[in-house]
């Protein structure tokens, strides 16, 4: 059972819609002031349990391999663990020089990896889950929008590697919702139909059911419309 002192040291994790907690940190790419340095861009801030561990190694190779793809979607990657800077540097050099995963090799990690020996940042973001580990960060993923607001959070246990297709899909879906004022249904990918917000009045509901303006309404509250893939990607991806 935790003592009162231990309970006081647990910082509640920030919630969707909150401003991303601010911090300054040393990284493998120099000092950063977060999230201010990334104003106007989306950021994926993600934590991993430890350097020189196999699941984390597979994830970093994958993230580094996909960095350009995320960058084209106006999204920067920022990693974190509670290891020190020199450990980070040695691990990333090992990844580049020795590790091959899923056909990816000689991978150079160019995005910043935060040193967080004090666990200050990890605690601000609720990355320390005491029932999982009191000395390692879980696999947290925070999606932070260009205004510095947390838009989505995904947590994985230490043993489970992340699904990077889903991370990218979620990023594109949120940007699509913002730019086209729609919602995205289950398993949505660019090119699939999107959901139009439910009608706000009886009159609007009736008009929607009889509309010929490209809506496919199964009922007054469930209406979709076509939003083709090229339209979505032309609006989101950098040329």
Mean pLDDT of 40-48: 96
Q: All domains of the chain, ordered by start, with CATH? A: 4-162 (3.40.30.10), 181-236 (3.30.1020.10)
Catalytic residue among 56, 202, 217, 223: 56
Binding residues for substrate: 139
Binding residues: 139
When pLDDT is cut at 50, 70 and 90, the band that residue 4 belongs to is very low
Cα 138 to Cα 68, 72, 239, distances in angstroms: 25, 28, 35
Q: How far is CA 65 from the centre of its chain?
A: 16
Residue 174 has pLDDT above 80, yes or no: yes
Given a contact cutoff of 8 angstroms between Cβ atoms, the answer to whether 139 and 158 are in contact is: yes
When pLDDT is cut at 50, 70 and 90, the band that residue 201 belongs to is low
Q: Higher model confidence: residue 27 or residue 196?
A: 27
Cα 212 to Cα 15, 124, 174, 181, 205, distances in angstroms: 40, 50, 27, 20, 14
Please report where in the chains the tokens 């999230």 appear, as a residue.
35
Residue-wise pLDDT for 91-122, tens only, equals 999 999 999 999 999 999 999 999 999 989 98
pTM over 0.95: no
When pLDDT is cut at 50, 70 and 90, the band that residue 138 belongs to is confident
When pLDDT is cut at 50, 70 and 90, the band that residue 82 belongs to is confident
> 228 is written with which tokens?
């083709």
> 110 is written with which tokens?
């160019």
Q: Please give the pLDDT value at position 5.
A: 52
Count the alpha carbons within 13 Å of 51 in the hemisphere toward its beta carbon: 23
Mean pLDDT of 31-43: 97
Give yes or no: 56 in active site.
Answer: yes
């Amino acid at each position: 059972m935790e003592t009162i002192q231990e309970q006081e040291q647990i910082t509640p994790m920030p919630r969707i819609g909150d401003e991303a907690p601010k911090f300054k940190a040393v990284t493998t790419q120099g000092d950063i002031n977060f999230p201010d340095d990334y104003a106007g861009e989306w950021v994926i801030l993600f934590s991993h349990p430890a350097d020189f561990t196999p699941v984390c190694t597979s994830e970093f190779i994958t993230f580094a391999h996909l960095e350009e793809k995320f960058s084209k979607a106006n999204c920067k990657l920022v990693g974190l663990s509670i290891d020190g800077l020199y450990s980070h540097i040695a691990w990333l050099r090992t990844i580049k020089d020795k590790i091959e995963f899923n056909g990816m090799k000689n991978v150079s990690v160019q995005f910043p990896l935060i040193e967080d020996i004090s666990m200050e940042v990890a605690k601000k973001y609720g990355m320390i889950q005491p029932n999982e580990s009191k000395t390692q960060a879980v696999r947290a993923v925070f999606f932070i929008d260009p205004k510095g607001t947390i838009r989505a959070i995904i947590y994985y246990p230490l043993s489970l590697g992340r699904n990077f297709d889903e991370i990218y899909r979620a990023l594109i879906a949120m940007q699509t919702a913002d730019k086209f004022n729609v919602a995205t249904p289950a398993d949505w990918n660019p090119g699939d139909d999107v959901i139009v917000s439910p009608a706000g009045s009886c009159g609007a509901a009736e008009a929607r059911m009889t509309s010929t303006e490209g809506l496919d309404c199964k009922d007054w509250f469930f209406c979709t419309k076509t939003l083709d893939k090229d339209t979505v990607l032309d609006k989101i991806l950098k040329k």
